Structure formats: C-alpha cells, structure tokens
Amino acid sequence: MSIASSSTTSPTTRAHWVRLLDKISHPPLAALAAGRLRATMPVEAQPGHASSRALVTHLEVLGRTLAGLAPWLELTDVSDPAEAAAQAELRSLARAALTQAVDPASPDYLNFTEGGQPLVDAAFLAHALLRAPQALFATLPAITQDRLLAALRATRVIKPAFCNWLLFSALVEAALLRFTGEADLMRIDYAVRQHEQWHKGDGAYGDGPDFHWDYYNSFVIQPMLLDVLATATAHTDAWQSLLPAMQARARRYAAVLERLIAPDGSFPPIGRSLAYRCGAFQHLAQMALQRDLPENLVPAQVRCALDAVIRRTLEAPDTFDAQGWLRIGLCGAQPDLGENYISTGSLYLCSTAFLPLGLPANDSFWNTPDALWTSARIWQGDNIPADHPLH
C-alpha cells in the first residue's frame, strides 16, 4: 500500500473498521442474544475434534468477540449517525447475549467449568468487562451481574497450566476485584511475579520458562499483564514497583510489532494460533488505545499499519462462510492452519485488532493524515533511524 497513491483517508478508515467489526460481531452476538448460538453456529475444527470443541467454543466466541468490541461499546461521544446506530445495536445484542450466557434456563447457558478451556475464555470475557465496565456490566440487570460474577468465580476450579495461562486466572481475579472489591490476590501475585521472571529481554516474555517464536506476547501476555496490573494497583500497591519496567517492555514490544508489518500488510507467519489473524496485533492496538505508544511511533502510522493488516487478513476470499461466520485461516480459508485446539469460536480473537475504535473520532489516532509505517518506509527507500533494543 502506498499512502501517497491511496485514496484512503482516516474518516473512511474508521467507517470501514466499524463496518468490518460489525460484520464479525453481529452473527455470534445476534445468535446468542436470541438463544440460538448452539443451534446455528458452525463448529469448524480439525478432524476428530469437533465434538470436544463443541463443549467450549460458544464461550470462546462470546469472550473473544467482546474483548475486541468492548472499548468501542464503552465510547460515549459517537457523532456519526451510521456508527452510532451500529454501536447501539451491538450494545443491545451484547447485553442480551450476556444475559443468555449465564441464565441456567437458557438453551445457550455456557460452560464455565468443564475442561480447561473455559478458564481461557472466561478471562477474555473478564477482559471485555474491564474494557467496558459501563456498557457491559453496570447496565446489566442485577441478576445477570450476579450470575456473571458467579460464573467467573466458578472457573477457580480449573488449574492453569504453567505458562501464559497463569494470566487467565489473574485476569479473572482482576475483574472480580474491580467489580466486587474481593479477589484471590495470590493468583494475581503468582502470575505477575512469574512473568517478571520469564522476561527474556528486549520486551519479550517466555510462554512459561521457555521462549516461543509466536505471537502470544500479543494474543495474551502483554495486554493481560498490563491490565491486570492497572486494575490491581488501583486497590493495592503490592506490585507498583514492577509497573515501570513492564510498561517499558510493553512499549518496546509494540515497536517490534509495528516493524513486523510488511508494506502489503502481511507479517511473518511464525508460530501457533495464526488463525487468530489480525489478533496477532492486539498489543499494538491496545497501546494505541491507551495512548502509550513508543515515542518513535506516531498514531497515524499505527492506524495505517493496523488497517493494512486488518484488510490483508479479513478481506481475502473465503474468510467468511455463506452465513457470515469466520473460517479457519490467516488469509482466506486455510483449515490446515488450525491446531487441534482451534475451532470457530477461537477465531474471533481477531476482533482485538479493532481496539482503537474506543478512541473518539477526533483523537489524533483518527484525525491526522495517513502515514507510512516503518517497514513500508524502509522498503521504499526512506532514510530513517536505526532500530535499538530496550537495553
């Protein structure tokens, strides 16, 4: 993509993101709001795994869709009529979906305790609640609030694996702390201090004791670690001393992610879970949302970089099936890219690339002229400063 030759402007980009996020989010939320998610959502999975994934994929699709949608649903100053209408409809569907998900009488009453996977997606759901405390929690009926908190507590029976999964337990506890004032602080402390030990250098954490070449620093580790700390330190100063170093690592990793985006919006297809598509850039999107980008990145170049990735991964032919559900793949339908833990609901982590929609349209992320991102500038011959490690 050449910005100089492109007719794309930032208002058009925002409207395009809204339309695409609505396209992604509407099928699962509308189905669940009507109590028809189990009846209508396909369960695409590796051969032999569809039945086991059917036990967990419906909570997957709810938690992961809302994790990316939440900041935009929380935004109150939306002036564009088309955007405001789409936002109002999805807010209503999200609240109705949450009500169905935790109602024992609903045909779509979701599984929060059977197997290990529900802990993962309860954490993504908890992340959504933290990102939209008014739109997705305070405005729910009291009985739904109580049931939702009980569902989060119920995941305590699941023992997390000794890897990024520690953050799933911590994120659930952070949400309970935010909304009830009580939590198992040991689960937070264990996750935070283990990840402090697992920092491998230059802003990258191990997925457990070992380093993996994949995007789990962005899918899970950095976004959840930052928001666990942000929530917990509002209640206690126990981890306050760790924040500066972890924030510095987060900025460095955001800079690395931005450099991984090629001029055509592609990125290295390294590691597992590539079927999460543009969700590989959740961390960069979150740092933009939180206005905490590294000094060498201006918001416009991050907007254009994320837009290139979103278009590259979500607009290839066969990305959606005939009913509008996402299909397994990174660029189109590529079912062999899905590991045995991947199913239709898993794919909706792509929504997290859209986190900057939580910034108002008059924010500099949206209202400044388009700018080339680092890789695009280098490969067109621009003379720019060299990259440097964190230390």
Bridge pairing between strands 204-205 and 199-201: antiparallel
Work out the angle between the directed axes of helices 165-180 and 222-232 (0-180°, nearest 10). 30
Q: Return the pLDDT at 9.
A: 45
CB 364 within 8 A of CB 10: no
- Confidence at residue 31, expressed as pLDDT on a 0 to 100 scale: 98
pLDDT at 11: 64
Using the structure block, give the residue that is written with the tokens 């209408």. 85
In the chain, the domains with their CATH numbers are: 3-379 (1.50.10)
pLDDT, residue 5, reads 33
| pLDDT tens-digit series, residues 52-82 | 999 999 999 999 999 999 999 999 999 999 9
Measured between alpha carbons, how far is residue 213 from residues 4, 205, 206 in Å?
34, 11, 9
pLDDT computed for residue 10 by the predictor? 57
- The H or E element that residue 201 is part of is strand 199-201
At 304-334, the pLDDT tens digits run: 999 999 999 999 999 999 999 999 999 999 9
For residue 80, the model assigns a pLDDT of: 96
pLDDT under 50: residue ranges of the chain: 1-9
What pairs with residue 205 in β-bridges? 199
Q: How many CB atoms lie within 10 A of CB 90?
A: 24
Residue-level pLDDT at 8: 43
